[in-house]
Amino acid sequence: MPTEKKYTAESITVLEGLEGVRKRPAMYIGSTSKDGLHHLIWETVDNSVDEALAGYCKNIQIYLNEDGSATIEDDGRGIPTENHPQYKISAAEVALTKLHAGGKFNKESYKVSGGLHGVGISVVNALSKKLILEIKRDGKIHSQEYSRGISKTKLQVIGKTKEDETGTKVTFWPDEEIFSTVKFDYSYLETRLREIAFLNAGLKITLNDKIKNKKEEFFYSGGLIEFIKWVNKSKEVLHKPIYFKRDVKDTSIEIAVQYNDSYNENIFGFVNIINTVEGGTHVSGFKTALTRVINDYAKKNNMIKDNSIMGDDTREGLTAIISLKIPEPQFEGQTKTKLGNSEVKGLVESIVTPTLSEFFEENPTIAKKIVLKVLDAAKARLAAKKAKDLVRRKTAFSISGMPGKLADCSNKKSDSTEIYIVEGDSAGGSAKQARNKEIQAILPLRGKILNVEKASPSKILSVEHIADLITAVGTGVGESFNLEKLRYNKVIIMADADVDGEHIKTLLLTFFFRFMPQLIENGNIYAAMPPLYRIRKGQKDFYVYSDEELKKILEKEGKTGGTNVTRFKGLGEMSSEQLWETTMNPKTRKIKKIFIEDAVEADHTFSMLMGEDVPARRAFISENAKEANLDI
């Protein structure tokens, strides 16, 4: 048990009120769609996790209730219930009704915290049509009800509990006036909760879905070692995980490293359990130290003669998880996706360099496996450079500088243009006839794109249709990637609405995820949604995009007349007018924006779908076939 710190009403510091949260909710939770809805749970869970980080919470339970509400319960200290000295109402009510209020601003209450902005539970309260707070503290159970940020009752004692039994329980009903959907997604929560449990060894998190009668426990005593094994479970690893943890003053640095036989780099950085998807100074410090240690070891053991190993080489096939716990992290904005503390880079370097060097000296077999993998990457990099130079020379000698198959658009303003990536000359021909030539470009690709999950960068970059794709998009790949050179605002994958089409779509998404992930993060990658069926009734045509939709229409139409149903087998079978009307007209089409909910889960999914783990792939496809409308 940690040393008891003073956590009373005086610990709750107030910066400002709740004004404007309901008027501009997206400022506080990102959006009012599915992401924003689930953000309410994360803000509430963060408070419980902060209690765990402080050493006072061992169990967190999340319930998705049958009435549409969500409950988050922990066994932490419980929010203070006595009156706040300034506001003359309970400290709990202050925390729930004042925007920047909480114990996070008081170093004595929370040395380490993810919810540093103090907006969490008050924003949840403001955006819920109803919220019930229950606190176990001082042998009593306290309760209070709120509605849309306003207290409906006073904090009152409703029962007794054991003297040492403490905790906070929050049940809230999201407000339909605010959110486009108020239905929680079990799988969406599952991924992040697993991640939180991995990052907090010994913390048990339970997710209960009372609607679907599903329950899952996340508890990992092995922490990051179990985390990195889980990330790499679909890959062939080269060695056991390398793990170390060091505490320097108030900072804790925990790192797990493991190489696999793939060509992809996966570094996941966390600060106070927040996933810093854009990296930051902790990731920079790790990269610098890793390159130095591998170079030094290779030279010392006469494996190289000069500085032929570069940073990218040392990270090919690398999976690393960096978990930092620091008192005052400086994040870039409320989204907290990048760490900015300048002192952290040097601190991480100073810990990783000697620790990793010592591990290499004590484990020469593992060290040599890693260095040989890195040397192979260096050779492949030089080969890839030759391939890139070949692409550049080809571009320089072509008339337009663009692939010959590209039917470009006349408008050169990238913010209003879009490119369709189409498989096959037949579909490409239809698309070229159907398009709006001013804003829509068409790039046909012959045959299925190479599976980049199983090929080396040098091979990938030497394939003609991949070189054409990179040239047409304009940004380059890897270290030479430059978002400002993007030639189109929307990059749209257009494939047939069948199993082959889904496969082609997945191959292309794998390419973008591995070579141009910034385009996904920036919201530039889309998938077209061609119809599955055409229903003709009299002189009118209706287009249907799923089997479920067709069934509903036929049931409805069956009562009023029969109908003529045509199943579209491929884009090439549509006339240009049909293709424009159903799939390419910006005013009437349906397209899906591709985004990454969780980088760790996305990496695992792509590795499993496109890698060597056949049983896992079969299980995944069987489980998700209906969702993806695959006609298996």
State the CATH number of the domain containing residue 513. Answer: 3.40.50.670
Mean pLDDT of 399-416: 79
527/537 same-domain check? no
434/372 same-domain check? no
What φ, ψ does residue 73 adopt, rounded to 5°? -130, 135
Give per-residue pLDDT as tens, 115-162.
Answer: 434 457 999 999 999 999 999 999 999 999 999 999 999 999 999 998
Give per-residue pLDDT as tens, 480-506.
Answer: 789 999 999 999 999 887 778 888 888
Asked if residue 612 belongs to a domain, the reply is: no
474/547 same-domain check? no
Position 116 scores a pLDDT of: 39
Spatial contact of 174 and 37, defined as CB atoms under 8 Å apart: yes
327/418 same-domain check? no
471/590 same-domain check? yes
Position 602 scores a pLDDT of: 77
Among the three residues 320, 350, 379, which one is the final residue of a domain in this structure?
379
From CA 18, how far away is CA 475, in angstroms rounded?
A: 43
Asked if residue 211 belongs to a domain, the reply is: yes
What φ, ψ does residue 469 adopt, rounded to 5°? -65, -45
Q: How far is CA 414 from the centre of its chain?
A: 26
Asked if residue 541 belongs to a domain, the reply is: yes
Position 391 scores a pLDDT of: 53
- AA letter at 341: N
From CA 514, how far away is CA 494, in angstroms rounded?
A: 19
241/352 same-domain check? yes
Q: How confident is the model at residue 455 (pLDDT cuts 50, 70, 90)?
A: confident
Spatial contact of 15 and 100, defined as CB atoms under 8 Å apart: yes
34/179 same-domain check? yes
Mean pLDDT of 72-93: 92
Number of Cβ within 10 Å of residue 558's Cβ equals 10
For the chain, the domain total comes to: 4
Mean pLDDT of 533-538: 82
126/230 same-domain check? no
Position 315 scores a pLDDT of: 93
Residue 363 lies in domain: 224-379
Q: What amino acid positions are annotated as catalytic residues?
A: 423, 496, 498, 500
When comparing pLDDT for 469 and 553, which is higher? 469
Position 625 scores a pLDDT of: 53
Mean pLDDT of 175-196: 92
Spatial contact of 123 and 20, defined as CB atoms under 8 Å apart: no
Position 398 scores a pLDDT of: 46
Q: How confident is the model at residue 107 (pLDDT cuts 50, 70, 90)?
A: low
Mean pLDDT of 157-175: 95
Number of Cβ within 10 Å of residue 444's Cβ equals 22
Q: How confident is the model at residue 317 (pLDDT cuts 50, 70, 90)?
A: very high
Spatial contact of 80 and 207, defined as CB atoms under 8 Å apart: no
List helix spans (H) across 422-473: 425-434, 457-462, 464-473
pLDDT above 70 covers what percent of the chain? 86
- Position 94 pLDDT exceeds 70: yes
What CATH code is carried by the domain that includes residue 246? 3.30.230.10
- Position 540 pLDDT exceeds 90: no
Mean pLDDT of 578-586: 91
Q: How far is CA 559 from the centre of its chain?
A: 45
Position 390 scores a pLDDT of: 57
What φ, ψ does residue 464 adopt, rounded to 5°? -60, -45
Spatial contact of 229 and 243, defined as CB atoms under 8 Å apart: no
Mean pLDDT of 36-57: 92
Asked if residue 629 belongs to a domain, the reply is: no
Asked if residue 393 belongs to a domain, the reply is: no
57/137 same-domain check? yes
- Position 2 pLDDT exceeds 80: no
- Position 113 pLDDT exceeds 70: no
Among the three residues 351, 379, 407, which one is the final residue of a domain in this structure?
379
- Position 362 pLDDT exceeds 50: yes
Position 13 scores a pLDDT of: 62
What CATH code is carried by the domain that includes residue 117? 3.30.565.10
Asked if residue 424 belongs to a domain, the reply is: yes
335/367 same-domain check? yes
Q: How confident is the model at residue 196 (pLDDT cuts 50, 70, 90)?
A: very high
299/424 same-domain check? no
Q: How confident is the model at residue 102 (pLDDT cuts 50, 70, 90)?
A: low
Q: How confident is the model at residue 108 (pLDDT cuts 50, 70, 90)?
A: low
Among the three residues 150, 184, 218, which one is the final residue of a domain in this structure?
218
Position 15 scores a pLDDT of: 47
- Position 356 pLDDT exceeds 90: yes
Asked if residue 3 belongs to a domain, the reply is: no
CA distances from residue 507 to 464, 495, 512, 592 in whole angstroms, order as listed:
16, 11, 9, 16
Asked if residue 359 belongs to a domain, the reply is: yes
405/488 same-domain check? yes
